[in-house]
């Protein structure tokens, strides 16, 4: 069965970077892209962008341009999302999901990133 398993919770200081991983199994990794969605505490869902696992093409949300980088390692079927220059409003649960466009049919379990001094 399709599974996306994410790395564990992180606590970071303002200005630092965080890199979250998402290991896929149960399907051909390069046949689908991976999208990233985040959810601040008590808030709604925010689309962050996607990466094609086939050719590495990316599309980032405008508000995150310059701070986010999405990559993949096809040898391990793992996708990564790195966010730099962290601020307190980056505190959120970060989800990976299968697909470069809607619908995102399978989701990871989420990774809580807390930014606090």
Q: Which residues bind other proteins (CB under 8 A)?
A: 35, 37, 44-47, 59, 61-63, 95, 101-105, 107-110
- Nearer of residues 74 and 109 to other proteins, judged by Cβ: 109
- Nearer of residues 82 and 105 to other proteins, judged by Cβ: 105
- Nearer of residues 15 and 105 to other proteins, judged by Cβ: 105
CB of 80 to other proteins, least distance (A): 18
Token duo for residue 117: 């001094």
Cα separation, 22 vs 39, in Å, equals: 16
Strand, helix or coil for residue 40: coil
Cis ω for the linkage preceding 103 (within 30 of 0):
yes
């Amino acid at each position: 069965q399709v599974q996306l398993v994410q790395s564990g919770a992180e606590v970071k200081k303002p200005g630092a970077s965080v890199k979250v991983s998402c290991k896929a199994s149960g399907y051909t990794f390069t046949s689908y892209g991976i999208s990233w969605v985040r959810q601040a505490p008590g808030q709604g869902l925010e689309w962050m962008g996607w990466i094609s696992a086939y050719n590495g093409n990316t599309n980032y949300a405008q508000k995150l341009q310059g701070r986010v980088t999405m990559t993949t390692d096809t040898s391990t079927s793992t996708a990564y999302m790195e966010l730099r220059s962290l601020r307190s409003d980056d505190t959120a649960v970060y989800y990976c999901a299968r697909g470069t466009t809607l619908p995102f049919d399978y989701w990871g379990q989420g990774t809580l990133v807390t930014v606090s001094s």
